[in-house]
Amino acid sequence: MNQSFLDVLWLARMQILQGLGMTLLISALAIVVGTFVGVFVGLALTYGATPLRWLSRIYTDFIRGTPVLVLILASYYILGTVGVHLDAFQAGVLALAVFCSSHIGEIVRGALQTIHRGQTEAAKAIGLTFSQTFLYVLMPQAARQAMPSWVNTAAEIVKASTLLSVIGVAELLLTNQQIIARTFMSLPFYFSCGFLYFLINFGIERFGKYVERRLAISTN
Amino acid sequence: MGYTLNFAVVWRNFDLLLGGLGLSLGLAFVSIVIGIAIGLFTAFLLNAKRSIAHGAAVVYVAAIRNTPILILILFTYFALPQMGVRLDKLQSFIFTMAIYAGAYLAEVFRGALLGVPKGLREAGLAIGLTELQIKKSITIPIMVRNALPALSSTFISLFKDTSLAATIAVPELTFYARKINNESFRVIETWSVTCLIYVATCVVLAALLRLLERRMAIPR
């Protein structure tokens, strides 16, 4: 029992790396799927016909009003009951992607609303279809607007991925908890685990600032 | 399939859920009150000249904002006792949430402080107020009005984050939902009712806070 923290850390390095990989995989999947769905949600919120707009409004408000932990637990338990058999990983990623999509939806709506109506009208006047308008007129401007909040959401998702440990997905936090259960070294392992998350999120934040600067220059 | 909805067990335990909701709201409220004090203090440090205290404030905010809240909660509850700091479940949860809220609010208040016109402080100096009097009767009241919208959204997300207290067995809403779920296997009923309770509470909170914002708005 008198092993030092560094010895234990070295012994458990592969396990921690696997957990780290899992965390990155979960986050990446949730962010990609959530962004894809979220763009459509945002479009529906801004340009949808009234029933569609209402539907997407209810969707975003409902998801945003529910804690992520409850979403994860609900997705894990409910889907199994109604016959959709997902394992913990799939159910967790689904919950995170849904959570992500509602936030992205709001961000996209906010970004689209800053674009002047005249531009959509002008696009319509020169005969662009809606998908062409979106692709060539709205998206380039909205993407620039939404970039900072999008990066924030990505960091949010990485942090929220820790909650998957509750339903037994072996991501970074759960692997650390397993090591702690074995060694009782809760202080150094929770600390180092937190520090790894800090590094990931700090990296995302820096990357976001960099991309933002790049995008800003290209407009001038 | 053959799953028939039966809400009876949920209604029978509805007072448990409501009691849990009460604790959730209480936790969020106490945490935000302490968090506001921490955030205010930190915000002044963030805006102050470069010094050791300023550096400490920057590190505090960056570290807390980039670390998952679940890790912070587990760290205070499981790791701090190893350093001789023993807190019970409620104390350790409130402590974590207050520190967490403090870091977010520090950023909110920092922005709001920058929104207070410089001339007002100079006017205060001109009529002979001390620095402390200026802070108390000029800067802070205006800053609070500037910060109110962001403060309300922080409060609402803090309320949702109280669901994480279930992981250290604090008997709040999610804790009871899990308990009812595990005891009755009424999965869909339990989680849908829990989601609805959270959403309804968030909607009511948002409406109340908007009312407060309108009350406190600077008359134009």
**Would you state the pLDDT for residue B217?**
77
**Would you state the pLDDT for residue B2?**
66
**Would you state the pLDDT for residue A100?**
96
For residues B172-187, give the mean pLDDT. Answer: 91
Q: Is residue A111 pLDDT above 70, yes or no?
A: yes
The residue of chain B nearest to residue A157, with distances taken between CA atoms, is: B68
Is 0.90 topped by the overall pTM? Answer: no
- A70 and B195: CB-CB below 8 Å? yes
| B88 burial type by CB count under 10 A (0-12 exposed, 13-18 middle, 19+ buried) | exposed
**Would you state the pLDDT for residue A217?**
53
The closest CB to that of A78, out of B1, B78, B191, belongs to B191
Chain A / chain B CB contacts < 8 angstroms: 113
Walk me through the domains of chain B, giving residue ranges and CATH numbers.
8-216 (1.10.3720.10)
| Sequence-distant (≥ 6) Cβ neighbours of residue B56 within 8 angstroms | B45
**Would you state the pLDDT for residue A220?**
44
Q: Which two tokens stand for residue A115?
A: 């674009």
ipTM of the complex: 0.84
A197 contacts in chain B (CB < 8 Å): 66-68, 71
**Would you state the pLDDT for residue B204?**
95
pLDDT per residue over A18-63, tens digit each? 999 999 999 999 999 999 999 999 999 998 899 999 999 999 999 9
pLDDT per residue over B101-160, tens digit each? 999 999 999 999 988 888 998 999 999 999 899 988 998 888 988 899 899 999 999 999
**Would you state the pLDDT for residue A53?**
94
- B174 and A69: CB-CB below 8 Å? yes
**Mean pLDDT value across chain B:** 91
Mutate to test the interface with B, among A66, A152, A156 (most CBs of B within 10 A): A66
DSSP string, A132-198: HHIIIIIHHHHHHHHHHHHHHHHHHHHHHGGGGGGGT---HHHHHHHHHHHH--HHHHHHHHHHHHH
pLDDT band at A2 (very low <50, low <70, confident <90, very high): low
Range from A63-72, A74-83, A191-200 carrying the lowest mean pLDDT: A74-83
